[in-house]
């Protein structure tokens, strides 16, 4: 059903492109769903039809977070380069004669990686996902206007926090450090993400 609806969004006119946004709390399953949708669209309509560009590539580097005193709030709205993300969305909506390169995020490094992703000119669908795509914050509200569709992805809190605990422990934190970070940062971030749910045209429940 979801895949059918996404395929229906893809423009049949060459040269046109649709942007689908997936918002939601940390570890709700946004990245997994985005990759699945891109894979299925490409399987039905041909390789290169769809591309995925996560918002996570616009995390500020750890060096910048340290400079700003925000390292312990990594993942909060103020720890992203929202202007850079908005600029990328504008580029994706503009003329498409050349590839568009976008930053990725390397969880093993816990750092963004410049030009880690590419959207080819022939891509007619771009799926982008992140916590704050539906956010009302002054710097974030412009994101919604640049998306053709915006869906909210949700999963039970206990499942999300299990995933976050695993993610942070794999990333090098002790279990105690990971649990403390989830309580101090991830839960407030989840509440902030949930505040934009009403701006989404569809709610997708995973888990």
Taking only the tens place, the pLDDT of each residue in 76-113 is 999 999 999 999 999 999 867 899 999 999 988 999 99
What confidence score (pLDDT) does residue 139 get? 87
What confidence score (pLDDT) does residue 76 get? 95
Stretch 182-207: mean pLDDT? 95
| Residue pLDDT, tens place only, 22-77 | 999 999 999 999 999 999 999 999 999 999 999 999 999 999 999 999 999 999 99
Report in angstroms the alpha-carbon separations of 16 from 47, 92, 93: 16, 10, 9
Residue 1, token pair as written in the block: 């059903």
Q: What is the Cβ-side half-sphere exposure of residue 11, based on CA atoms within 13 angstroms?
A: 15
The secondary structure element, H or E, covering residue 88 is helix 82-93
pLDDT > 90? residue 15 = no
Ordered by start, the domain boundaries in the chain are 2-205
Burial of 201 (0-12, 13-18, 19+ CB in 10 A): exposed
pLDDT > 80? residue 9 = yes
Q: What is the Cβ-side half-sphere exposure of residue 16, based on CA atoms within 13 angstroms?
A: 7
Place of tokens 């407030």: 188
pTM of the model: 0.95
What confidence score (pLDDT) does residue 96 get? 77
Q: In which band, very low, low, confident or very high, does the pLDDT at 1 lie, cut at 50, 70 and 90?
A: confident
CA distance 161 to 187: 9
What confidence score (pLDDT) does residue 171 get? 87
Q: Could you tell me if 131 and 23 are in contact, meaning their C-beta atoms sit under 8 angstroms apart?
A: yes
| Residue pLDDT, tens place only, 125-152 | 999 999 999 999 988 999 999 999 999 9
What confidence score (pLDDT) does residue 117 get? 98
What confidence score (pLDDT) does residue 14 get? 75
Closest of 125, 138, 113 to residue 50, by C-alpha: 125
Q: In which band, very low, low, confident or very high, does the pLDDT at 207 lie, cut at 50, 70 and 90?
A: confident
What confidence score (pLDDT) does residue 95 get? 66
Phi, psi of 82 (to 5 degrees): -65, -35
Catalogue the long-range contacts made by 69-74 (C-beta closer than 8 Å, 24 or more residues apart): 72/181, 72/184, 72/185, 73/185, 74/185
CATH 3.90.1150.10 fits 2-205, yes or no: no
């Amino acid at each position: 059903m979801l895949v059918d609806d996404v395929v229906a969004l893809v423009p049949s006119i060459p040269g046109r492109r649709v942007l689908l946004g997936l918002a939601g709390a940390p570890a709700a399953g946004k990245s997994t769903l985005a990759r699945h949708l891109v894979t299925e669209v490409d399987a039905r309509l041909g390789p290169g039809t769809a591309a995925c560009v996560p918002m996570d590539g616009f995390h500020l580097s750890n060096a910048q977070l340290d400079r700003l005193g925000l390292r312990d709030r990594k993942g909060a709205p103020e720890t992203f380069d929202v202007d850079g993300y908005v600029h990328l969305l504008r580029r994706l909506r503009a003329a498409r004669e050349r590839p568009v390169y976008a930053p990725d995020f390397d969880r093993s490094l816990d750092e963004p990686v410049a030009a880690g992703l590419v959207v080819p000119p022939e891509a007619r669908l771009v799926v982008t996902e992140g916590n704050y795509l539906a956010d009302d914050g002054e710097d974030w509200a412009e994101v919604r206007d640049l998306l053709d569709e915006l869906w909210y992805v949700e999963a039970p809190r206990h499942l999300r926090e299990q995933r976050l605990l695993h993610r942070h422990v794999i990333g090098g934190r002790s279990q105690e450090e990971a649990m403390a970070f989830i309580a101090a940062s991830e839960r407030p971030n989840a509440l902030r993400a949930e505040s934009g749910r009403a701006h989404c045209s569809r709610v997708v429940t995973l888990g």
